[in-house]
Amino acid sequence: MIPHEILLEALDAAERSATPGRPVYMLNMLRFRESALYQDGRDESPCSGREAFFERYVPAFRRLAAGRSIQRVFAGHVIAKIVAPAGADWDIAALNEYADFATFRAIVDTDAYRSEAQPHRLAALDDFRLFMLDKVM
């Protein structure tokens, strides 16, 4: 689990890089656990990492994001690794557009996200990467 202080530092750095009022794109690279692993003492029924992500995390995130300007641009299965280092094996890649960085931060930098959504994401994923992108073309 990412310590909260490190997450806040990463969010602060991303905020300094973002142009206020300009859309940002969040690229998620996800690798699921075979079985979800809850490390926070939650009493959740056993399921796969994929199920924890799509049946628990995604609905919780959508509830927290309701009414905000967010659009899924693309989501798909990674079907081949063409050029990547060893260990860069991902199940899903997803690209989401947010109205601006403040919209993203207003969701993920909250106690509600940390208690209602994040535990499912962390339990579901064996590894992940999250990149903030700015449109250049």
**Could you tell me the residue ranges of all domains in the chain?**
23-35+47-133
| pLDDT single digits (tens) 60-85 | 999 999 999 999 999 999 999 999 99
CA 107 to chain centre: 11
Evaluate whether 46 touches 133 at the Cβ level (below 8 Å).
Answer: no
Q: How far is CA 21 from the centre of its chain?
A: 21
Residue 8 has pLDDT above 90, yes or no: no
User: Quick one: pLDDT at residue 67?
Assistant: 94
> What does the pLDDT average to over 108-115?
93
Mean pLDDT, all residues of the chain:
92
Task: Please report which confidence band the pLDDT of residue 2 belongs to, taking 50, 70 and 90 as the band edges.
Answer: low
Looking at residue 107, its pLDDT comes to 95
Binned at pLDDT 50, 70 and 90, residue 3 comes out as: low
Per-residue pLDDT tens digits for 84-111: 999 899 999 999 999 999 999 999 999 9
pLDDT band at 1 (very low <50, low <70, confident <90, very high): low
DSSP secondary structure of 59-127: HHHHHHHTTS-EEEEEEEE----SS--TT---SEEEEEEESSHHHHHHHHSSHHHHHHTHHHHHHHEEE
CATH of 23-35+47-133, one of 3.40.50.720, 2.40.70.10, 3.30.1370.10, 3.30.70.100: 3.30.70.100
Pairing mode, if any, of strands 92-98 and 70-77? antiparallel
Q: How confident is the model at residue 32 (pLDDT cuts 50, 70, 90)?
A: very high
Per-residue pLDDT at 58: 97
How far apart are the C-alpha atoms of 108 and 126, rounded to whole Å?
Answer: 20
**Of 127, 79, 101, nearest to 24 (Cα)?**
101
DSSP 130: E
Burial (CB < 10 A; 0-12, 13-18, 19+), residue 135, is: exposed
